[in-house]
Structure 1
Amino acid sequence: MTDTPEVELVDEDELSVSPLELFFDLVFVFAIAQIAAFVRHDLTWSGVGKGVLLVVLVYWAWSLYTWGLNATGTSHVYVRLALLSAMGTILLMAVALPSAFTEDGWHFAAALVAFRLIGTGMYYLAAGEEQRAAFSSFFPLATLGAAVTLVGGFMDPSVRPWVWLGAIAVDVLATRAAERADWHVRPAHFAERYGLLVIIVLGELIVAIGVGLGDFEITTSLGVTLSIAFVVVAALWWSYFDRASGFLEETLRTRTGIERGRFARDAYTGAHLPLVIGIAMFAVALEEVVVHPDEHIEAIAAVLLAGGITLVIVSFLLAGYSATRQIPVERLTGAAVIIAITAIAWGSISSRTLLALHAVVLVTTLIVEYRRWSDDWQRRAA
């Protein structure tokens, strides 16, 4: 019997995101785009709920690879082959995604579970002995979660969402079971992976704008709508990459031992989930605004418009609280104002005006926050 081939783990300051990981993410974004398209074609509360469920399932599988690649890098041939194989399963999973809640739902479930199992095998095969010890605390429940996901794919479509919710609950328990393990998280690579994820889902917003346009004639009205939409997208980018991402990475770097792994789980894997859900759902509503800018927006689209931005803000609230045990007041206030505007005005103003109001609130929130952070830095420097 031969020994398990083992990868020489990379030092903390040497590991960076590789071109293969970027290639991997480009295939992954197709799955996110498919989820947004799924919700657009079933713009009901049931469709939204199913879309959110799909985001969680797909995101959870992606996160498994992020943790694994953070431990191994992609220099070893076994890792590269596993990652390329996983990309094939992502493609199959994304193609099967529209039928996830039909009689053919097992196609999606089987591809998703295969994707997860490849990631699990890659991690175990390539990681060092210490990382395997940490992974052993996560593996049993994570495998059970994958099994429940697969079983759900073969069950009646009416009960399938509940089975998959159960699978997600098992996956959450797996992360709790592993919290006492010493996960060797490399801060720069880990933060960069999640930053790239944010860029990918923000890119889906740009795609949503382009898809919504179709063969529309270019007019002043269209130009105004596009400008407002881009302001919102740019503000969402700014809200993450101006200071928040750097602050989170620095906090991750200062944590050591078990605490670093817990912070990575809470501030990145956990807190970034509502961000991905929010942007994916916001993309659906944004297309509705671009297509019908002068009409009153439907209630469900109005909820996705405000709820998408709010979930992005909630993501930062969770991440910030994990780092400082304090709630960023500006963002909490901004989220509350956006929700209030939607509740009061959505049925009496055009969708473009509603989007413009959200843009004003979001930009104002970031300006106030920026000034407070600048004042704090000046006081520290003094």
Structure 2
Amino acid sequence: MTTTASFRAWHRPMRPRRRDEEHRSATPLELFFDLCFVVAVAQASEGLHHDVAAGHLGHGVFSYLSVFFAIWWAWVGFTWFASAYDTDDDLYRLTVLVQIAGALILAAGVPRAFVEGDFTTITYGYVVMRLAAMANWARAAAGDPERRATTLTFVAGVGVVQLGWLLRLLLPPAWLVPAFVVLVVADLLVPVLGERRGQTTWHPRHISERYQLFTLIVLGEVVLSTSVAIQRGVDAGNGQLWSLAAAGTVIVFAIWWLYFDRPNPLPPESVPGALFWGYGHYFAFTSIAAVGAGLAVAVDHDLHTGHVSGRVAGYAVAVPVAVFLVALWGLHLPAKRGLGLVLFPATAALVLVTPWLFAPVDLIAGVLVALVAVTLVLRHRDASRTS
């Protein structure tokens, strides 16, 4: 009996979990996995901050979007698999720890990828992560005969695309960007092809919680930037930064409130709807983390250490806030009615006007407070009508 129990703890069939499983929540292992992405997100945000503050806007935006895709996609691959097949046996824990090691290698490669466009270290991190992921998909193929075609599609797709990323390292510089775009599309198509052959049993509430937790990670970048603004204001004796810090605090509070508004819609159960919801969060995550970089640019401008105008510094905050509002509107569009259909896009347009006015960051904070107030009124009005 003891031998059998020990074997089951070490290795058991990787059966699919039920989609209607009660009390399905993030595990300590998943939280540990997320923790390793904090550094990577912070480095990407910091790289964007320095490039924009130095006036290298085009390079900063492209580098940020490409590096953040690498971070986000590594997280996505693990999250959706774990939602469907987490067995929590010892073998699974070991393979996840290997993936965490790959995530740490990926994080170490973020600065070089941002500054030099060199994705070598990030690619090596992906090799470690994806070998472990392919092993888990192969275990799922053995333990879930009903979805064997799906799981084997993931094994083959992940392996072929990763081989493409390795071959990209051998290409001449002129081909790197086109190859990057092609491989990004190929990566995004793997779940499309796999899920069409048989939908995996990911848990809607668990996936929603996992995305909420990653939202908190990127919100942490905005909190950090706000804290730095206060610290630098105190050190420099610049009272103007207190206003900026207050506005940044209001902005991060408003973003949190809007994303976690009640009720928070779950991902659709259909494959196209779930893919749109899951992929659409890339824009929500990138924009939230970019708000932190924008606030840091605004601090540099107020301290006269940046090389951009006040209008550019204002847009460094306004653009990511506007993108976040549009992304959130798209993700929650099926639940919108009446004024809710146009409220978020209209607010995003208003936010984009603020850099042409006085104290744009303060104005953005005020606009977001007004948006939160309106959404509260609409929600309570709808709740009253329903009751």
For the superposition of Structure 1 and Structure 2, which TM-score range results when normalised by the shorter chain?
0.7 to 0.9
Task: Answer yes or no: is 1:166 the counterpart of 2:185.
Answer: no
- The answer to whether structure 1 residue 276 and structure 2 residue 285 are counterparts is yes
Bigger Cα displacement from structure 2, 59-68 vs 163-172: 163-172
Partner residue in 1 for 2:218: 201
Which residue matches 2:71?
58
How does the TM-score come out when normalised to structure 2?
A: 0.84
Q: For the structure 1 residues 172 and 365, does the alpha-carbon distance in structure 2 shift closer, same or farther, using more than 3 Å as the test?
A: same
Equivalent pair of 1:278/1:308 in contact (CA under 8 Å) = yes
| Cα pair 2:16 2:84 within 8 Å, conserved | yes
> Using a 3 Å threshold, how does the CA distance of structure 1 residues 115 and 322 change in structure 2: closer, same or farther?
farther
Stretch of structure 1 that moved more, 357-366 or 167-176? 167-176
Relative to 1, partners in 2 of residues 1:377 and 1:88: Cα closer, same or farther, differing over 3 Å?
Answer: same
Q: Deviations over 1:15-34 (max 9, x none)?
A: 32111111111111111111
**1:323 positional shift:** 5.5
2:125 aligns with: 111
1:109–1:152 contact (8 Å) kept in structure 2:
no
| Offset of residue 311 of structure 1 | 1.7
1:207-235 Cα offsets, whole Å, 9 max, x none, are 22334545724664333221111000000
1:231 aligns with 2:237: no
Task: State the distance in 2 between where 1:108 and 1:154 align.
Answer: 15
Residues 302, 131 of structure 1: alpha-carbon distance in 2 compared, 3 angstrom cutoff: farther
Aligned residue identity for 1:80: R
Taking the aligned partners of 2:71 and 2:309, their CA distance within structure 1 comes to 29
Closer/same/farther in 2, CA of residues 104 and 292 from structure 1, 3 Å limit: closer
Task: Give the Å deviation of 1:8.
Answer: 4.1
1:262 CA displacement = 3.4
Q: TM-score, normalised by structure 1?
A: 0.85
Alpha-carbon deviations, 1:249-277, whole Å to 9, x = none? 2x64xx4xxx2x4333222x112110111
Partner Cα distance (2:354, 2:362) in 1: 11
RMSD of aligned alpha carbons:
2.7
Check conservation: 1:30, 1:94, Cα contact below 8 A.
yes
* Residue identity opposite 1:263 in structure 2: G
Which residue number corresponds to residue 185 of structure 1? 202
Q: State which of 269, 272, 279 in structure 2 corresponds to 1:262.
A: 272
Query: How do residues 1-382 of structure 1 correspond to structure 2 at under 5 angstroms?
Result: 6-11=13-18, 12-43=21-52, 44=56, 45-73=58-86, 75-100=88-113, 102=116, 105-126=119-140, 128-180=144-196, 181-211=198-228, 213-214=231-232, 216-217=235-236, 220-243=239-262, 246-249=263-266, 252=268, 255=269, 259=270, 261-267=271-277, 269-293=278-302, 297=309, 300-321=312-333, 328-342=341-355, 344-345=356-357, 349=358, 353-381=359-387
Question: C-alpha distance in 2, partners of 1:42/1:113?
Answer: 29
SS at 1:216 equivalent: helix
CA deviations over 1:316-335 (Å, ceiling 9, x no partner)? 12212355699732111100
> By how many angstroms is 1:337 displaced?
0.7
String of CA shifts for 1:12-58, please: whole Å, max 9, x gaps: 22432111111111111111111112223333211211111111122
Kept in 2: contact 1:139–1:174 (CA 8 A): no
Q: Secondary structure at the match of 1:248?
A: coil
Equivalent pair of 1:103/1:157 in contact (CA under 8 Å): no
Contact 1:275 1:312 in 2 (8 A): yes
| Structure 1 position 175, deviation (Å) | 3.3
**Contact 1:13/1:186 (<8 A) preserved:** no
Q: 1 CA distance for matches of 2:40 and 2:117?
A: 20
The structure with the largest alpha-carbon Rg is 2
Q: Is the 8 A contact 2:15 2:87 kept in 1?
A: no
Number of aligned residue pairs: 361
Look up the SS of the partner of 1:328 in the other structure. helix
SS in 1 for 2:183: helix
**Cα displacement (A) at 1:70:** 0.2
TM-superposed deviation, 1:299: 5.3
CA distance in 2, matches of 1:266, 1:139: 22
Residue segments in structure 1 that go unaligned for 5+ positions in a row: none
Matched residues in 1 for 2:117 and 2:319: separation? 31
Relative to 1, partners in 2 of residues 1:97 and 1:266: Cα closer, same or farther, differing over 3 Å?
same
Question: 1:17/1:115 Cα in 2 relative to 1: closer, same or farther (>3 Å)?
Answer: same
Task: Mark the CA change 1:122 to 1:298 in structure 2 (over 3 Å): closer, same or farther.
Answer: farther
